[in-house]
A and B are shown apart, each in its own frame.
Chain A
Amino acid sequence: DVKVTQSSRYLVKRTGEKVFLECVQDMDHENMFWYRQDPGLGLRLIYFSYDVKMKEKGDIPEGYSVSREKKERFSLILESASTNQTSMYLCASWAGNTEAFFGQGTRLTVV
């Protein structure tokens, strides 16, 4: 019954590495989102996409980019990982008129 799948639950990367976080949804939703969650800061929107090849910056896009080549897949890219990008990353998918679902989260540690 899994609807939104994130490729990794836990990830450890080195400073300066290029990191890809993948998210796949099987509900044919147009809208997909990437958030990061940090203690005391809640959920913050990084980027979202409302259609294939379309993307919009969220509240904290600096240091990140995204790719949406296919409707079901939305990738978050850390061009050069830094320690302040250590966080829990959450992907969400929404049709725009009903439930919005989240993936299980990826806990990224940058050392």
Chain B
Amino acid sequence: GEDVEQSLFLSVREGDSSVINCTYTDSSSTYLYWYKQEPGAGLQLLTYIFSNMDMKQDQRLTVLLNKKDKHLSLRIADTQTGDSAIYFCAEWGTNAGKSTFGDGTTLTVKP
């Protein structure tokens, strides 16, 4: 079945760039999303990319999509302590309910 894999932990220093990686298996995925979850809160949509795109940039966020390798990455430039959170990669297919989430990457930003 469909699967989304992420590394569980990432630690960076404030001001550095963070790169969170994700791999997925469903080649029919149409939309790939990145969500941020702070402690005790819901999932906040950060950004998304359509499967016909290679890259999307939104302020400090850059999403890269390698369709051949089914690899998605989220780069956060100039990482701040407020970026410390769990980041989820998700793919939502064209059919309602057909969505798969990774287990989340916990990003820790050290001062």
Interface residues of A (CB under 8 A from B): 6, 30-31, 33, 42-43, 45, 48, 50, 56, 58, 90, 92, 94, 96, 98-105, 107
Residues of A within 8 A of B90 (CB): 100
Known: A94-B92, A96-B96. A107 touches B101 (CB 8 A): no
B111 sits at the interface (CB 8 A): no
Q: Which residue on chain B has the smallest CB distance to residue A6?
A: B42
Interface residues of B (CB under 8 A from A): 31, 33, 35, 40-45, 48, 88, 90, 92, 94, 96-97, 99, 101-104
Please report the C-alpha to C-alpha distance between residue A7 and residue B69 in the assembled complex, in whole angstroms.
41
Residues of A within 8 A of B88 (CB): 43
Known: A99-B48, A102-B45, A104-B42. A94 touches B104 (CB 8 A): no
Residues of B within 8 A of A50 (CB): 96-97
Known: A42-B104, A100-B92. A90 touches B42 (CB 8 A): yes
